[in-house]
Amino acid sequence: MTSLHIALEDGFADDTVVLFVNDDEVFRKDGVTTRTQISLADSFELNVPAGPVRLRVDVPSQGVGETLEVDASEHPFVGLSVRDGGIRVRFPEQLGYL
């Protein structure tokens, strides 16, 4: 197992957010709202299997979702934002809010 740090960043407004790793639900939270002063709605850490995993994020309250493959040993930090009718994904070297 290895750690994957997730930050829910911009574009969340009283939303439900659901994350899956390899089809297993690992996170669900209602009322997710971005604090615009710091561009952060929430952040958390997941333990995921070593190697590539399939990460799916759904924001059903906005009708958007995204599935991507992530290897936490290469990209231990993932930033997720809701923008332009979809999910924007970024892989920073670190997350300043953790």
What are the residue boundaries of the structural domains of the chain, listed by start? 2-90
Rounded CA-CA distance 39/74 in Å is: 24
The pLDDT value recorded for residue 33 is 98
In the prediction, which pLDDT does 92 show?
87
| pLDDT at residue 97 in the model | 54
State the fold for domain 2-90: Immunoglobulin-like (2.60.40)
DSSP letter assigned to residue 91: -
Q: 58-81: per-residue pLDDT in tens?
A: 999 999 999 999 999 999 999 999
* Per-residue confidence (pLDDT) for residue 66, from 0 to 100: 97
* Angstrom distance (rounded) from CA 72 to CA 60: 25
Tokens describing residue 26: 């690992």
Flag residues of the chain having pLDDT under 50.
98
Q: Could you give the maximum distance between any two Cα atoms of the chain, in Å?
A: 35
